[in-house]
Amino acid sequence: MKKLSRNDLCWCGSGEKYKRCHLEFDERLSFLKKQGFPVPVRSLIYSEKDIAAIQKVCHLTKRLLDELNDIIKPGITTNAIDTWVYDETIKAGALPAPLNYKGFPKSICTSINEVVCHGIPSDRVLVEGDIINVDITCILDGYYGDSCRMYKVGKVSDTASRLIEVTKQCLDASIAILKPFDPLNVVGDEITRIAHKNGFSVVDMFGGHGIGKNFHDEPFVYHCTRKDKQMICAPGMVFTIEPMINEGKKGCKILSDNWTAITVDKKLSAQWEHTIVMTDSGAVPLT
Ligand code: MF3
Ligand code: CO
Ligand code: CO
C-alpha cells in the first residue's frame, strides 16, 4: 500500500484531504503502537455513514428491550419471550443474530439466576423472585446491534437487587471513564474496582467485542483487570461492554448443551450490555 501524502484523499472515505482528516489520528496511533499498545486496523474504524446504520439497528435492539419491561412477568416462559422477540424483529425488517449462530438454536439468550450468559430459551416458566437477563442482537441492513439487560420477576431478594444495580453501575461507569485513545484496560480496571468494592466478583471467561459489520470482531474487551496492554480505543471504533458480575465466586462452567454458562457455586450472576461508539469526545452508548 502506497503511503498517503498530506494532500491525498483520506483513507476513511470522507472525501476530505488526508491532512485535514485522519493524518493526526494515524500519527497518534503509530506513537502508541511504538509504546507497545495493540492498535486497531482500519477496517475497525467506522465511517459516519456506517455509524448512522449501526445507530439504526441499535435503536431497534433498544426498543425491543424496552418493550420487554411489560412482557416479563411471573407465568411467562422464556420460549414465549423468544417468540415475541423473533416476531418483532422480523416485523421491523431485521434478523435475530443468535439464531443458528454457531449452532445456537434460538433468537435470544435468556439467562436466569445462576446462569451467567448464553441461556437457551425453553419451557421454563418465570416465577416470582427470579432475575433474568435477556440478550438481543438484531441485524439490520447488514449491521449488528447487541445489548442486554436484567429484569426482575415480581419482587426479588435484596441481594439480587443489589447485584443488578452494581452490575449496571459497572457498565455505566466504564463507559463514562473511557476516553478516546485510552487503552481498553481502563474498562476492566473500572468494572473490577466497583464490583470488588461491593463484595462481588468479575467473570473473566467472557468479554465484550468489536461489532458493526460483524457480530464478534476485534478487540476482545476484558471486564477484569489485565496486566498486558489492551487495544487502544480510537474514535470510530464500535464495540460492546457487557460485564457479568457474580454474587459469589467468579468461576463458571458450561452445561452439556454446550452453551449455558452457570456459576460454579450456583450463586446469582447479573449482566448488562451496550453497543458503544468511541467519538472524539468520549464513549457513547447506542443501545
Ligand atoms: N449476544 C451475545 C453477546 O453479547 C452473544 C450471543 S451468541 C449466541 O455477545 F449464540 F449465544 F446467541
Ligand atoms: Co455482545
Ligand atoms: Co449480547
Spatial separation of the C-alpha atoms in residues 109 and 116, rounded to whole Å: 11
Q: Where are the domains of the chain?
A: 41-285
Residue 247 has pLDDT above 90, yes or no: yes
The pocket of ion ligand 3, defined by CB under 5 A, consists of 135, 146, 148, 273
At the topology level, CATH places domain 41-285 in Creatine Amidinohydrolase (3.90.230)
Per-residue pLDDT at 1? 64
Structure-block grid coordinates of residue 55: 445507530
Decide whether any atom of ligand 1 lies within 6 Å of the 118 Cβ.
yes
Pocket test for ligand 1, best of 61, 104, 109, 257 (most atoms within 8 A of CB): 109
Cα of 239 from ligand 1 centre, angstroms:
14
* pLDDT tens per residue across span 69-123: 999 999 999 999 999 999 999 999 999 999 999 999 999 999 999 999 999 999 9
Residue 2 has pLDDT above 90, yes or no: no
Could you tell me which of 87, 106, 88 has the C-alpha nearest to residue 98?
106
Decide whether any atom of ligand 1 lies within 6 Å of the 109 Cβ.
yes
- Percentage of the chain with pLDDT > 70? 99
Decide whether any atom of ligand 1 lies within 6 Å of the 98 Cβ.
yes
Q: 2-6, 146-150, 181-185, 261-265: which has the minimum mean pLDDT?
A: 2-6
Per-residue pLDDT at 3? 82
Decide whether any atom of ligand 1 lies within 6 Å of the 273 Cβ.
yes
Per-residue pLDDT at 180? 98
Q: What is the average per-residue pLDDT within 129-134? A: 99
Pocket test for ligand 1, best of 58, 116, 134, 137 (most atoms within 8 A of CB): 137
* pLDDT tens per residue across span 8-44: 999 998 999 999 999 999 999 999 999 999 999 999 9
* pLDDT tens per residue across span 223-241: 999 999 999 999 999 999 9
Pocket test for ligand 1, best of 57, 86, 107, 117 (most atoms within 8 A of CB): 117
Decide whether any atom of ligand 1 lies within 6 Å of the 82 Cβ.
no
Q: What is the chain's mean pLDDT, rounded?
A: 98
